[in-house]
Amino acid sequence: ILKGLKILAICLVVLISKPSKANEQERVSYDEKLETLELIKTSNPKLAREMLKELESSLSELSDEQKDLYKLYFAHSLAIMGKYDQSQSELENLALTATTIDLKARAHSLLSNIYLFEGEYKDAFVHSARSLENLADLDEKKLHKFAVLQNASSLYKQSGLLTKAMEYSRQMLSIAEKQRDVLKLCVGNYEMASWEVEKSSVEIADLRLKSAENYCDKTGDDIFKVLVAERRAEYFLLKEDQEAAIDSLKAWEERVKEIDYKSLSNLYEIKLSEAYLASGKLDEALIYADSAYNRTKKYNDSTRLMEACKILASIYSEKNDLEKSVEYYQEYMQLEKQLEIITNQRKLAYYMASVQTN
């Protein structure tokens, strides 16, 4: 009987071309779940996978745009788990079939990230260019335009194309300030604070970091809180306040272990080791540098491995163990040369991709 009533209700909906209140509530519920996924897909991948599994059983009830969002977040989840081939396949299909320019752009943007990680630089720039084709028309209210800009900034920054990278970072902050969205303000101020720290603009960096700390605290996103703490530690090192740098990082030690993101752990331990080295606490510096070295070696994080080698060379030099110091310094020099070659390859790939997409 219940089944028959349900079929009758569906038929009535079709006949009067008006959604029932129950269907409207379901649609809102799905929208809320997808909005939550957007926010937690990186910071809480386990919960994201659980939510995706729940949505999978309701795919037939989703609108076309909701289905596309599900596909995007599912592909992102696959990438987080290191299943890059599967993720690429999902995204390539989404880039062709997505019902909105926003989701086509997001698919190309995430593909760009994956190709960059795999060392396919030309493909990374081709997909980045495609994600930016309709930038002016992308939705600013949701995270679509912001996410595309963030990925583009990261790609260009890692490729040594700093002017373009900073341009995209500035656009991110402009969107955030216009909308007063807390998450966007957190990320936008963090990005600009990073630029100021790298330029050693201490006063401006301090202002940007204070803004980033304020907004990131409000988001509750611990990953960005750790990233901001790492930049704050670098700020303190610029001011030669080593103890403050150590304190700003040590407060996050247990949480970094709980999060267990390899790249975040590498970044954290290298900066903490650097702070201990600057303060003359060599044994503590060695513990964290050693840990970072082993992890970066295991997971092929060449940029962080190079940084770990440089710190280890300095630590052993201070300990008067010249043999080990030279060993790590030589490895550092080899990695630096490799990174220079890779950066040049990325720049060449950018120009080749520019010709291909124009």
- Beta-carbon contacts of 38 under 8 Å, excluding residues fewer than 6 positions away, are 69, 73, 142, 143
Instruction: Reply yes or no on whether the pLDDT at 27 is more than 70.
Output: no
**pTM tops 0.75:** yes
Per-residue pLDDT, averaged over 145-173, amounts to 93
Q: First CA to last CA across the chain, in angstroms?
A: 61
pLDDT band per the 50, 70, 90 thresholds, residue 19: very low
* pLDDT the model gives residue 347: 82
Q: How far apart are CA 357 and CA 211, in angstroms?
A: 38
- DSSP one-letter string for 237-296: HHTT-HHHHHHHHHTTHHHHHHH--HHHHHHHHHHHHHHHHHTT-HHHHHHHHHHHHHHH
Average pLDDT over residues 204-231: 95
| Alpha carbons 283 and 280: distance in angstroms, whole number | 9
Nearest to 90 by CA among 78, 99, 102, 80: 78
Query: Quick one: average pLDDT of 310-322?
Result: 97
State how far the Cα of 161 lies from the Cα of 155, in Å rounded to an integer: 9
The tokens for 150 are 């963030």
212, two tokens: 């980033």
Question: How many angstroms separate the CA atoms of 67 and 55, rounded?
Answer: 9
What is the tens place of the pLDDT at every residue in 91-106?
999 999 999 999 999 9
Confidence band (pLDDT; 50, 70, 90) for 18?
very low
For residue 260, the model assigns a pLDDT of 83
Least confident of 8-22, 93-107, 267-281: 8-22
Report the run of H or E that residue 10 belongs to, with start and end.
helix 2-16
User: Could you give the CA distance from residue 60 to residue 36 in angstroms, rounded to a whole number?
Assistant: 20
Tell me the per-residue pLDDT of 328-346, one tens digit each, with 9 for 90 and over. Answer: 999 999 999 988 888 888 8
At residue 272, does pLDDT exceed 50? yes
Give the pLDDT of residue 26: 59
For position 16, what pLDDT does the model report? 34
CA distances from 31 to 53, 184, 192, 196, 220 (A): 16, 20, 31, 37, 21
Cβ-based neighbour number of residue 224 at 10 Å = 21
State the pLDDT confidence band at 15, using cuts at 50, 70 and 90. Answer: very low
